[in-house]
Chains A and B, each alone.
Chain A
Amino acid sequence: MADTAPRQAAPETMLSVNNIEVVYDDVILVLRGVSLEVPKGQIVTLLGANGAGKSTTLKAISGLLKTEDGEVTRGTVTFDGETISNQDPEKIVRKGIFQVMEGRRVVEDMTTIENLRLGAFTRRDKNVRRDMDMVMDYFPRLKERAGGLAGYLSGGEQQMLAIGRALMARPRMLLLDEPSMGLSPLLVKEVFGIIESINRDQGLTMLLVEQNASQALKLADYGYIMESGKVVLDGTQEELLSNEDVKESYLGGGEQRRSFKNLKSYKRRKRWL
Chain B
Amino acid sequence: MALGANSMRCGEFRTSYRQDSTIFPTPMSRNFAIAGVLLLMVSPVFLQPYHLNILIQIGYMGIAALGLNILVGFSGQISLGHAAFFGFGAFASAWINSSFGIPVILAIPLAGVLTTAVGMIVGIPAARIKGLYLAIATLAAQYILEDFFNRAVWFTGGSAGSLANPLSLFGYQMTTDTRYFYVVLAFVVVMYLLGTNLIRSRDGRALVALRDHYLSAEIMGINLTKYRILAFGISSFYAGVGGALFAHYLGYVSAESFTILLSIQFLGMIIIGGLGSIMGTLMGTAFMVLLPEVMEGGVGVIADFMPGIEQGLAYIKEMAIGLAIVLFLIFEPEGLAHRWQLTKAYWKLYPFSY
Contacts and interface: CB of A to CB of B under 8 A. Distances in A.
Same complex for A and B? Answer yes
> Size range of the interface on B?
20 to 34
Main secondary structure of the interface of A (DSSP, over half): helix
A113 B19 CA distance: 11
A64 B12 CA distance: 39
Nearest to B226: A90
Interface in B293-311: none
B205 A117 contact: yes
A109 interface: yes
B206 A121 contact: yes
A94 B12 CA distance: 36
A101 B12 contact: no
In the complex, which of the residues B12, B224, B276 has the most CB atoms of chain A within 10 Å of its own CB atom? B224
A90 B222 contact: yes
A107 B223 contact: no
Contact of B17 (A94, A122, A132): A132
Main secondary structure of the interface of B (DSSP, over half): helix
Interface in A66-107: 67, 89-90, 93-94, 98-99, 101, 105, 107
Contacts of B221: 90, 93-94, 121-122, 169
A161 B212 CA distance: 16
Contact of A64 (B14, B20, B209, B215): B215
B147 to A, nearest CB: 35
A122 B212 CA distance: 19
B220 interface: yes
Contact of B20 (A107, A109, A146): A146
B206 A118 contact: yes
B345 to A, nearest CB: 13
Interface in A141-166: 146-147, 165
Given A107-B208, A147-B12, A113 B17 contact: yes
A93 B20 contact: no
A62 B206 contact: no
B220 A93 contact: yes
Given A107-B213, A111-B20, A90 B223 contact: yes
B219 A89 contact: yes
B338 to A, nearest CB: 12
7 contacts: A90-B223, A93-B221, A101-B216, A110-B205, A117-B202, A118-B206, A122-B221
Interface of A: 62, 64, 67, 89-90, 93-94, 98-99, 101, 105, 107-111, 113-114, 117-119, 121-122, 129, 132, 146-147, 165, 169
Closest 7 CB pairs of A and B: A93-B221, A122-B221, A105-B216, A105-B213, A107-B212, A118-B205, A89-B218
